[in-house]
């Protein structure tokens, strides 16, 4: 496995940590790292609310990347309570497709870090609805 995946895992692990913010909001049960095309790693954690206004760790990491002036994704890694399940949800996939409609299929997703199983977003999302 490429060293960059370990670097991304370490970055995501550094921000992982479940905590209760209020009676209605928790965060950090899931973390993610996104590698931009420039080679910089951005991280994010999930934020869960009782009113479904939360955000996934992957989108949080992508928003961090965008906030810092980048918009092209190369790789995505997620640390969830089930380590063999790293596929982004539909909303996260949709955001990545809309950000990179011409090249989203090349984004690499770490599906299972321990097994080193990687898929492309194109394999996970073969045909976008606007196509």
pLDDT in tens, 80-118: 988 777 889 999 999 999 999 999 999 999 999 999 999
CA separation for the pair 111, 121 (Å, rounded): 11
> Does the CA dihedral 22-59-18-53 come out positive or negative?
positive
Strands 41-49 and 73-79: unpaired
- Residues with Cβ within 8 Å of residue 79, at least 6 apart in sequence: 9, 12, 13, 16, 30, 31, 32, 57, 113
pLDDT (0 to 100) of residue 130: 61
Model pLDDT, residue 118:
97
Calpha distance 61→63 (Å, rounded): 5
Confidence check: pLDDT of 128 > 80: no
- Give backbone dihedrals phi and psi of 88, rounded to 5 degrees, phi first: -70, 150
Q: pLDDT tens for residues 37-76?
A: 999 999 999 999 999 889 999 999 999 999 999 999 999 9
Domain formed by 3-124, architecture:
3-Layer(aba) Sandwich (3.40)
0.85 cut: is pTM over it? yes
Residue 75 near residue 36 (C-beta atoms within 8 A): no
pLDDT of residue 85: 79
Question: Which pLDDT value is given to residue 131?
Answer: 52
Write down the pLDDT at residue 83.
73
pLDDT at 33: 98
pLDDT of amino acid 52: 83
**Residue pLDDT, tens place only, 2-44:** 999 999 999 999 999 999 999 999 999 999 999 999 999 999 9
Helix (H), strand (E) at residue 35: strand 25-36
């Amino acid at each position: 496995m490429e060293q960059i995946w370990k670097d991304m895992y370490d970055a995501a692990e550094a921000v992982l940590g479940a905590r209760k913010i209020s009676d209605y909001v928790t965060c950090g049960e899931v973390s993610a790292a996104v590698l931009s095309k420039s080679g910089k790693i951005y991280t994010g954690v999930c934020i869960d609310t009782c009113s479904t206004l939360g955000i996934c760790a992957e989108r949080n990491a992508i928003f961090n990347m965008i906030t810092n002036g980048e918009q092209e994704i190369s790789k995505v890694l997620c640390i969830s309570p089930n380590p063999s399940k790293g596929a982004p949800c539909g909303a996260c996939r949709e955001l990545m497709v809309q950000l990179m409609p011409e090249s989203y299929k090349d984004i690499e997703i770490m599906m299972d870090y321990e097994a080193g199983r990687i898929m492309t977003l194109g394999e996970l999302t073969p045909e976008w609805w606007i196509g």
